[in-house]
Structure 1
């Protein structure tokens, strides 16, 4: 299948400045994702969407493609992933022809493995009408989550579920942001990556689900590297 991997890497980052090219271990953060995609052997091309020249240059150094610089209106804090991906998808298909699937790989998930990317494509091949999205088990079950109402709080799933023993609760999962894979036609039609019929790609390794967005997240990533010697974790 012809799978296009798109890596969105905006230059502006308020909570962790310069995070996309900040060196993690022995290479820039964005390089981890580019290399995992390449090592998977299942993507046709890895295209980086960025508004930053430094990010573009480093991405090319590690084998990524940059078709053009991201338009300013798509480089704001409010720009959504759908608009960013479709802009790159349209530009790519205009030159290289239609692709069978588009995969969103956020550079803030550096430890997502090449094997997980392969698994996502394998699941996608079973039914291309269904998106495949990576998920991980929640650390706090929805039954134990509350909404605040004035000076009181109410459990989201009701008081009865709150008293259910943990071992009797149905397993719950959350999006971890590591992999989104969908047919271009489905993406353009529903204008989102997750919808009815979405197939879960369950990740059980907590390292793969790490999403770096703050200095604290960065510190966690550094500790993971030291503890596991993860230079070749992408393979």
Structure 2
């Protein structure tokens, strides 16, 4: 069966306009993800889901296929990402007539991951499938812990810990581990994509990608951080 990778990139970003094709170290942002997918041996087909012809052209120039246009109702800031997955899978099955071993999405605003991360996440998915796991997605240890230093106001406005245990956690090291959902790598069975209502609807597990690869572009600050980290990773002088 075929390993399908879909890179989702809508045209109407609000926080960082045009971020999916914004130049990053001389290449459109999306090109980094396309090139990573093409270099991953477990992936057989690389498709971009977009509503923008400008993004589609940049994706094709990097080597991806764009066999369909994402419908307008799935290209708004209110559209859920899982519905985008479902549309892309159905569109690829209809266009190519293929059966897929897995559906893999790469977030195109996180170029910090490596091809080795994608392969390792696929290997974890394959190893866990016999145990009923529906998919794997990228996580990292959370920078803030709701049992220790994340707070929220109660009805009176007084700040309280977001989560509590019997007794008070007075050291970060004593707090239970919690993880951030990292917008980077998502691998699922096609059946799960078709049938689930949202990402955590079934048995999803985490691939720990580490904190330095966990940034994605939602703001100008994010872009500056990623650009700095990419330069350091590639040995480019600031």
Q: TM-score, normalised by structure 1?
A: 0.91
Structure 1 Cα separation of the partners of residues 50 and 63 of structure 2: 15
- Compared CA separation, residues 147 and 161, structure 1 to 2 (3 A): farther
The answer for the alignment partner of 2:8 in structure 1 is: 8
The answer for the alignment partner of 1:207 in structure 2 is: 212
Q: Does 1:116 align with 2:120?
A: no
Contact between 1:8 and 1:50, CA under 8 Å: does it hold in 2?
yes
Deviation at 1:22, TM superposition (A): 0.4
Q: Does 1:148 align with 2:153?
A: yes
The answer for the alignment partner of 1:224 in structure 2 is: 229
Contact between 2:216 and 2:226, CA under 8 Å: does it hold in 1?
no
5+ residue gaps, structure 1: none
Structure 1 Cα separation of the partners of residues 4 and 212 of structure 2: 24
The answer for the alignment partner of 2:139 in structure 1 is: 135
Contact between 2:140 and 2:182, CA under 8 Å: does it hold in 1?
yes
Q: Say which SS state the counterpart of residue 48 (structure 2) adopts.
A: strand
Structure 2 Cα separation of the partners of residues 3 and 230 of structure 1: 32
**After TM superposition, what 4+ stretches of structure 1 lie above 3 angstroms from structure 2?**
159-164
Q: Please give the per-residue CA displacement for 1:62-116, whole angstroms capped at 9, x wherever unaligned.
A: 0111011111111111111111111111111123322111011110111111101
Deviation at 1:189, TM superposition (A): 1.8
Q: Say which SS state the counterpart of residue 213 (structure 2) adopts.
A: coil
| Root mean square deviation of aligned Cα | 1.7
What are the residue-to-residue correspondences of 1:17-32 with 2, within 5 Å?
17-32=17-32
Structure 2 Cα separation of the partners of residues 179 and 101 of structure 1: 12
Structure 2 Cα separation of the partners of residues 66 and 230 of structure 1: 33
The answer for the alignment partner of 2:101 in structure 1 is: 100
Contact between 2:16 and 2:219, CA under 8 Å: does it hold in 1?
yes
